[in-house]
Chains A and B, each alone.
Chain A
Amino acid sequence: MAEPANGARIELRGVGVTYPGGAAAVRDVDLTIAPGEFAVLLGPSGSGKSTLLRTINRLIEPTAGSVLIDGVDARALDPVELRRGIGYAIQAVGLFAHLTIAGNVGVVPSLLGWDRTRIAARVDALLTLVGLDPDVYRARYPRQLSGGEQQRAGVARALAAQPRVLLMDEPFGAVDAIVRASLQDEIRRIQRELGTTIVFVTHDVDEALRLADRIVVVANGTIAQTGTPEAVLATPANDVVRALVGIDAQSRRFAEARPLLARDRP
């Protein structure tokens, strides 16, 4: 599949989001995400990580600061045009129930006015990319798919118009652990293959460690720490980060220890 092998650079400069009524969801965030980087925004629920993600495609407008895509202020772009160039996948998937899987995956190309043959070819290539056999899934409706299959179709739809940025908001949060692990492997493989810049929101430390080139820990609407998974795990910058990765670190050790316990049993 011919893909532009480069992701876009994303810069957040002093981004703040204050809701009418005065509550600040995000305060003074500076963050640069390199082209082709897999950045994971990690934080507890209510930390502002989803709000931050949604400022990138202007589903939420920052009340302070600015978002730059490849150096261009997002505010200078038409929001619809901006979003068509940015993939978007969410936990609830939000496949359109009245369209087949092919209709769903091809929806953005269809909005962009591609011709039928080109859309059909693109849909088949994308379904193959996310591990769904086009001959089996093309004509099915979303409700005929399992949760994991729906999420794969959601990722295919997000990638349809060859976006240089892919935003993912807890995309694998609603599927079981085994399916989640396989989806994580797939998205990592796809990202290496396409070179897309991915910004991925999760509250799951293990998921962040598994996927990220760089983890951005978000707490109370600000960035608590950024660094490689190893760095964040080894040297948490403060108590907030320590609390977040620490508890899970213990449970990870417990999970590793369990098979040993089982084996020792007579």
Chain B
Amino acid sequence: MSFLLAHPGLVAARAGEHAALVLVSLAIALAIALPLGVLVARRPRAGAVVLGVLNAIYTVPSLALLAILVALFGLGAPTAVVALVAYAQMILVRNIAEGLRGVSPAALDAADGLGFTPRDRLLRVELPLALPAIFGGIRIATVALIGLATVAAWIDAGGLGSIVFEGLHQDDAAKIVAGSVAAMALALAADVLLRFAERASARA
């Protein structure tokens, strides 16, 4: 903790990088996961293929995935974003699809019978009713990505992981602890915040 207390500005800057890495990855991941989630919910057969592929990506060890991606895209934050987006897909797509499948058939029948277009039905009925499940997916994915982003420092993506790696190279336990504790704090804060959002969306 001594390092953390001695250099709060540096740790905060790294935490900012870390959060930015995760937020950018999440935003891109959501943009891809929403249409994929709709596909999985609507077309069970195509959906099984999509989930199979995403599951396969999910099981690749993070270091191995980063190594492969570095070979393709080089070192740096953009490559880390690709890895984080790929990991988040499995969690997000599964939750979005489950949320959509859980919408009551009566609400869907009513929406169709009242003259909703398919687009209106999705945007005004299905997605809002699936929102608690979607927020649940975002929460789990965020916590997982904050952890994974620590490893991404290994490919020069910055973030709190770089403090941990410095500590490893310099045999400086204080740095390792500082980076780890800060990453944990970030994950916990995100978890609490998104739990709150999840509950608020379920209340409506």
Contact = CB atoms under 8 A, between A and B. Distances in A.
Interface of A: 57, 59, 80-86, 88, 90, 92-98, 107-108, 111, 141, 154, 157-158, 167
A92 B125 CA distance: 16
A83 B115 contact: yes
B117 interface: yes
B159 to A, nearest CB: 36
Contacts, number: 66
A92 B103 CA distance: 13
Contacts of A167: 113
Contact of B110 (A90, A98, A111, A141): A90
Contacts of A88: 110, 113-114
Top 8 nearest A-B pairs (CB, nearest first) are A94-B110, A88-B113, A92-B106, A83-B115, A94-B106, A84-B115, A98-B128, A94-B107
Interface SS of A by simple majority = mixed
9 contacts: A85-B115, A88-B113, A90-B113, A92-B106, A94-B110, A95-B110, A96-B107, A96-B111, A98-B131
B116 interface: yes
Contact of B113 (A81, A83, A95, A98): A83
B56 interface: no
Given A90-B109, A92-B106, A97-B107, A157 B129 contact: no
Interface in B101-144: 104-117, 120, 124-125, 128-129, 131
Given A80-B116, A98-B128, A158-B114, 14 more contacts: A83-B113, A88-B113, A90-B106, A94-B107, A94-B108, A94-B110, A94-B111, A96-B107, A96-B110, A96-B128, A98-B204, A107-B114, A108-B114, A111-B115
Contacts of B124: 107
A97, A154, A158, A167 — most chain B CB neighbours (10 Å): A97
B129 A97 contact: yes
A83 B112 CA distance: 8
A81 B129 contact: no
B112 A59 contact: yes
A80 B115 contact: yes
B106 A93 contact: yes
B94 to A, nearest CB: 22
Given A98-B128, A111-B120, A141-B204, A93 B110 contact: yes
B47 to A, nearest CB: 22
| Most B C-beta atoms less than 10 A away, residue of A83, A94, A95, A108 | A94
